[in-house]
Amino acid sequence: MRLALGIRYNGQAYEGWQSQSSGRTVQDKLEHALERFAAQPISTLCAGRTDTGVHALMQVVHFDTTVDRTAFSWMRGTNRYLPNDIAVQWAQPVPDSFHCRASALTRRYLYVLSQSPVRPSLDAGRVGWSMYPLDGDAMKAAAALLVGRHDFSSFRASACQALSPVKEVRRIEITRRGESDRCRWHFEFEADAFLHHMIRNIMGCLVRIGHGKASPEWMLEVLEARSRLVAAPTFSPNGLYFVGPLYDAGWGLPPEATLHAEGAAYDGPP
């Protein structure tokens, strides 16, 4: 049987998603919990690998198993053996042809940025930070230049293993929460796929523009240069959330993982 899981986690304590010899990754913790619940080794694949310190609102994984238990039992039983900052949100049997990565139609990320003269404290690690005010109109104008199908080499980490730097960015929305000098900004990204560090590198450029250190048109110069050397430094991972992939309704996954004509909402962080 092939099973898909939707997982939420706080990435602060982990060295990213992908299994490492240290055992301090989300994949290591999940597979250890699945093995304890199922009493057999289980290997998982994920929809999108996250870096150290990056969070997920709905990571989707799939795996094959000979253990026959209800979807509810997989969710509750696995959560029993997971640390408090990782939790399975749902479990769903899927056809053998389902692949959490290849079957995804689109992927979404959210970056939460705190604008405040004082660094984050209670929400440290869960939000990015800008000490200085940001120009929302300038950032929105710059972000609009990235929408579409482009070569995103300028925003690609040197360790990126993607076969092609060409991706289609379908949506970037920037909204401000609050009117004082202490507010939050939400940056929503949607694309067919993302390169390694792509969003954090775009964020570095957007914040530079928001601070008035570059014009919105500079973003187009960076994009067309196709060189990481011309872009801003990689921004902090702290406020980055993998909102999750969306799939065709025919796979029978929960509504939050299904692409509808009107789009899918997400339950974002506070």
Q: What is the pLDDT of residue 260?
A: 73
- Which residues face 190 on adjacent strands? 108, 171
Query: Averaged over 203-214, what is the pLDDT?
Result: 98
Task: Please report, for residues 26, 60, 158, the alpha-carbon distance to residue 42 in angstroms, rounded to integers and kept in the order given.
Answer: 14, 15, 31
Q: Alpha-carbon distance 152 to 25, whole Å?
A: 28
- Tell me how crowded residue 170 is: count the other CB atoms within 10 A of its CB: 15
Q: Which residue has the tokens 């029993």?
A: 80
Q: Which residue has the tokens 């390694």?
A: 196
Q: Which residue has the higher pLDDT, 88 or 180?
A: 88
Specify the pTM: 0.94
- The rounded mean pLDDT for the chain is 94
Of the candidate ranges 1-15, 226-240, 254-268, the one whose mean pLDDT is the lowest: 254-268
**Residue type, position 143, single letter:** A
Catalytic positions:
51
Instruction: Name all domains of the chain by residue range, CATH numbers in brackets.
Output: 2-103 (3.30.70.580), 106-241 (3.30.70.660)
Q: Which residue has the higher pLDDT, 268 or 78?
A: 78
The helix/strand/coil state of 33 is: helix
Instruction: Say if residue 193's pLDDT is above 50.
Output: yes
Q: Alpha-carbon distance 170 to 168, whole Å?
A: 6
Confidence of residue 269 (pLDDT cuts 50, 70, 90): low
Instruction: Say if residue 7's pLDDT is above 90.
Output: yes
Q: Alpha-carbon distance 80 to 86, whole Å?
A: 11
Closest C-alpha to 209, from 141, 113, 152: 141
Helix spans in the chain (H): 26-38, 71-80, 136-144, 198-210, 218-225
Confidence of residue 161 (pLDDT cuts 50, 70, 90): confident
Q: Which residue has the higher pLDDT, 265 or 129?
A: 129
Confidence of residue 268 (pLDDT cuts 50, 70, 90): low
Helix spans in 24-179 (H): 26-38, 71-80, 136-144
